[in-house]
A and B are shown apart, each in its own frame.
Chain A
């Protein structure tokens, strides 16, 4: 036990902070993007919707390294967009915390988008019709009727998005690298210390991420159980 204590005493907690920070910022971005795009797609035609839906869901099913490949293709300083961003605005995506966030947003976005979309689709269409005959504008209907009615679905989407963003590994390691104190997230830390067969340190980080993840799943169940309760009442 004293070994664990010794490690804990000297442990650098920065991976936890980086993971939580990345998760929070990426979730905030994915939240707004997901809701807006899901809302936009409700009104688009069938072909456009099928194609866009496929593209937007791909990050969920493709290996994260493939996403990492595409992101490097875009943002590498040796590529047009990456060099443009760096030369003109001094923005560096590769090997930076910004890279962590971009990787996490791209990977977790489909969870937010898909949950929001299916929540929107389940909103009673008569509510929207009624709102129109009552003179509410389309924007007002979206924010005052559709989004509140889809709240449980949006909430569970947000929680899953956060969990996924926080634990992202593949695309993050390719785009942001594993720079201690800057881009080294918990999942990257675990992979790194395991290369030295350091089961103890890895175990501590594994315990931390298992606890956080369990907490998130618990929260999710709690939220969806409340949703069922509401449905029964309604």
Chain B
């Protein structure tokens, strides 16, 4: 079903202005903290009202300012998974699952959900006695009991440690795999988004920065924010000199390209893994290595290198995997970092 979103709401010192429409069933919203992505989700659910615009899902108009439609959250058939799961602490697991159902169907639907989510042994427990993973299962069961057309996931894994996060993500994948409705996941974590979402909306300071297939945006982000949020560590302002050259003043380097540099290029992005170490003579598109700092991680080493001729403060961020460290240990730090022009992303 199509999700059509065109909403505006004043929030603090900026306007949240989100507009996209899609028939994709797994949609991600990626943005830094405070960019308005949670607010967007709350407006879809009807917890908050937009100042202007409209929200449609399938045939149904959930909100339309012009037609004075503002459907109550109770009627929207939209499930919302909160980061802390928001289970009612005064009700048992079974009561939590059945709380929004009519009396006649309560028992039957709750039984079905309890079986589906394998929480039979938790049936009579209070939420305070459950682990995080169990709470998430109960919260999902409670949402599914309403058979919603659309499920909203609001940073569902952000407060978890790495090990538990992966566990809960697998659990979530299992439960969503046979869900026929649409899912919108909000997160500031690119891995999460990449894992769950087929289409992606990048939001920054309340505005849609990029929208499209997740895979494409990760491979070829077109904007500075999209590049940063999809994990590109080196995003620097450049000056387009002509169709084949750009000047990166921060690094004191001029890059040459055989392909044409797009007219609107204002930044370039280079992923931290994409540099090639060069010892000896300088080639084209090489950054001279100056002073550097390093940080060792379990499976890779990070270098923060100030280019020798740089006149800016922005260091070059270079990640090198452990199995390739031997070369560095043997030959010492490279003299240059070479940039393959095919790996450079042109950004607005």
Contact = CB atoms under 8 A, between A and B. Distances in A.
Given A127-B88, A129-B47, A234-B89, A135 B146 contact: yes
Interface stretch (A109-117, A143-151, A153-161, A206-214): A143-151
Contacts of B82: 126, 129-130
B45 interface: yes
Interface string B136-171: 000000110010000000000000000000000000
B86 A130 contact: yes
Specify the main secondary structure of chain A where it touches its partner.
helix
Contact of B74 (A132, A233, A234): A132
A136 B99 contact: yes
Contacts of A124: 84, 86
A149 B86 contact: no
Contacts of B75: 135
Interface string B82-123: 101010111100000001110000000000000000000000
Nearest to A133: B80
Contacts of B88: 127, 130-131, 144-145, 148-149
A231 B88 CA distance: 13
A51 interface: no
B31 interface: no
A2 interface: no
Contact of B100 (A126, A134, A148, A233): A134
Contacts of A195: none
A127 B72 contact: no
B80 A135 contact: no
A122 B189 CA distance: 30
A134 B99 contact: yes
A137 B47 CA distance: 14
B89 A130 contact: no
18 contacts: A129-B42, A129-B47, A130-B80, A130-B88, A132-B46, A132-B73, A133-B46, A133-B73, A133-B80, A134-B99, A134-B142, A135-B75, A136-B74, A137-B74, A144-B91, A145-B90, A148-B90, A233-B128
Interface of B: 42, 45-47, 72-76, 78-80, 82, 84, 86, 88-91, 99-101, 127-129, 142-143, 146
Interface of A: 124, 126-127, 129-137, 144-145, 148-149, 151, 230, 233-234
